[in-house]
Amino acid sequence: MESTIRQMDIFFNPKSVAVVGASNNIHKAGHVIFKNFAENERRGVFKGKLYPVNLREDKILGYRSFRLLSDIPSEIDLVVIVTPAATVPEVVSDAAEKGVKSVVIISAGFSEIGNHSLQDSIVSVAKENDIRVLGPNCLGVFDTITGVDMLFLPETKILISGDEFIATPRPMAGQIAIMTQSGAFGVSALDYLTGRQMGVSKFVSFGNKCDVAEAEMLTYLLHDERTWVILLYAEAIEAGREFMKVADRVTRRKPIVAFKSGRTDAGARAAVSHTGAMAGSDKIYDAAFAQVGVVRVQNMEEFFDVGKAFAFQPPALGNNIGILTDAGGPSVMAVDECESNGLTIRRFSEEVLQRFEDLKQRGKLPRFATTANPVDITGSATSEMFERSAEIFLDASEIDGLIVLGLHHTPALQEDFVDRIARLTERTTKPVVACDIGETEMAMFIRSRFEKYGIPAYSSPEDASRAIAGLVHYGEYLKKIGSFEDYMKIFTRRHEGSK
């Protein structure tokens, strides 16, 4: 295990990097990748030494360029290859002669198009020389702290109708790691997370997975203190037994959220044509993920929504969910989605019902509010009504988690209802998620205000319900294996340390 961790760490934290195929041509991937490293080095983010390799260039972005890896006078930790597919075996051989032990092959044109012999030749050389290979046909690695950035999509500034935008911004540092088989989906995921202001610890794109695959990277991320949640996009997991063995260890300490595509026969065929990987039976994946506590999601939106919930909130101890709302329609949507995901929305006990009745008697809730669960405090809702109602939910032993549906256009509601609910969550270990429907500035402001306090917020009741379902299912797994209390200690330590 220690050997695997050291090997994987070189991809994220190399002391020296050579980019073979670095270029002065701004339209080439080799230029963008080398520029990423160079700019991060100049900003003091990337701390390693940097070497461009190009047969025809003397200097690239002010750095002396070398014709071959063997011409570089220093040792090289990591080689990034961005040259035509036919030249890659020779470059890997050069890396072997140089004593390099880690290689990332960005180049495409291998097994994904049926060129298996070319890929096999790379694997043969790598194994003979104890070289670990990421790729080919991948986006490589991105690390928000070390400055390793192999994404060959530049942070280009573009003008649209007179306004300036960054075409491919990088995400801020955070606790979510992304592992993806698809490079295109991976970079889209980074763009999505950046737009939603969700932080990333590490990103890795596997491509064709001729060598390094999910199990080894999971082993590494298990021991990465900056990673709390792992998002996995996969079209196929070939080393299934090894994956399950490692995932079983990881999910005791960190949740894994898996988006496994290729569920249908047509989707499986598309996966084969994409990376050359066989997708396998979808029912087998369902059973395997469930056995080792991997939370499987069905679409891209759920992938990120559940990941965000895990980054902010603890797992639930049970599956009985409370719903607090100021609008009846959205609460019905939430109930339907919760029930569809195996959760229960149980009517309150008489003791809890009496507490709500007392609020009505004292004029603290409208007489016409419904309080059986869901609790609808209606369009007359105030911040105090939300606070007092949420307190009853969180005090009730029969409730395992809470969905707050607070619509910003309720007339008497002030934005401090968010602050009041947030203060209540500080004394509970029950997960709380929020929803404010809409895409106006006010809706986005309310959601961002919730998230400032560590309460994940969503734009639809269904999204919020699926997010809390992920927390419930993970909690059920941890209870089943007797690790719930141990995980909660880890969760508490992480979040207290981040304050």
The model scores a pTM over 0.85: yes
Integer CA distances (angstroms), 299 to 23, 262, 263, 310, 451, in order: 38, 11, 11, 17, 22
Q: Residue 278 above 50 pLDDT?
A: no
Bridge partners of residue 432, in order along the sequence: 402
The answer to whether the beta carbons of residues 389 and 360 sit under 8 Å apart is: no
Q: Residue 93 above 50 pLDDT?
A: yes
Q: Which tens digits make up the pLDDT trace of 19-72?
A: 999 999 998 999 999 999 999 999 999 999 999 999 999 999 999 999 999 999
> How confident is the model over 338-347, as a mean pLDDT?
97
Phi/psi at 183 (5° precision): -65, -40
Integer CA distances (angstroms), 380 to 364, 376, 440, in order: 11, 10, 22
d(CA 432, CA 462): 15
Q: Provide the pLDDT confidence category of residue 191 given band limits of 50, 70 and 90.
A: confident
Q: Residue 275 above 80 pLDDT?
A: no
d(CA 309, CA 464): 9
d(CA 98, CA 72): 9
> Which is nearest to 110 in space by CA: 204, 211, 26?
211
The answer to whether the beta carbons of residues 381 and 416 sit under 8 Å apart is: no
Q: Among the ranges 57-66, 155-164, 408-417, which has the highest mean pLDDT value?
A: 57-66
Q: Residue 375 above 50 pLDDT?
A: yes
- pLDDT of 154: 65
Tokens of 65: 């360029």
Computed over every residue of the chain, the mean pLDDT equals 92
Q: Residue 387 above 50 pLDDT?
A: yes
> Can you say whether residue 394 is alpha, beta or left, with left for phi > 0 and alpha for psi between -120 and 50 degrees?
alpha
Please name each of the domains of the chain with its CATH number.
2-308 (3.40.50.261), 315-498 (3.40.50.261)
Q: Residue 76 above 70 pLDDT?
A: yes
Q: Residue 166 above 60 pLDDT?
A: no
> How confident is the model over 347-368, as a mean pLDDT?
96
Residue with tokens 């300036």: 164
Q: Residue 179 above 90 pLDDT?
A: yes
Q: Which tens digits make up the pLDDT trace of 102-144?
A: 999 999 999 999 999 999 999 999 999 999 999 999 999 999 9
d(CA 227, CA 201): 6
Between 343 and 1, name the one with better pLDDT: 343
The answer to whether the beta carbons of residues 496 and 338 sit under 8 Å apart is: no
Reduce the DSSP state of residue 371 to 3 states and report it. Answer: strand
In this structure, of 209-213, 258-262, 302-306, the range with the lowest mean pLDDT score is 258-262
> In what helix (H) or strand (E) does residue 349 lie, and over which residues does it extend?
none
Phi/psi at 283 (5° precision): -65, -35
Q: Residue 307 above 90 pLDDT?
A: yes
- pLDDT of 274: 45
> How confident is the model over 166-185, as a mean pLDDT?
86
- pLDDT of 265: 57
Residue type at position 196 = R
Helices (H), 263-366: 265-275, 282-291, 300-312, 328-340, 350-361
- pLDDT of 159: 52
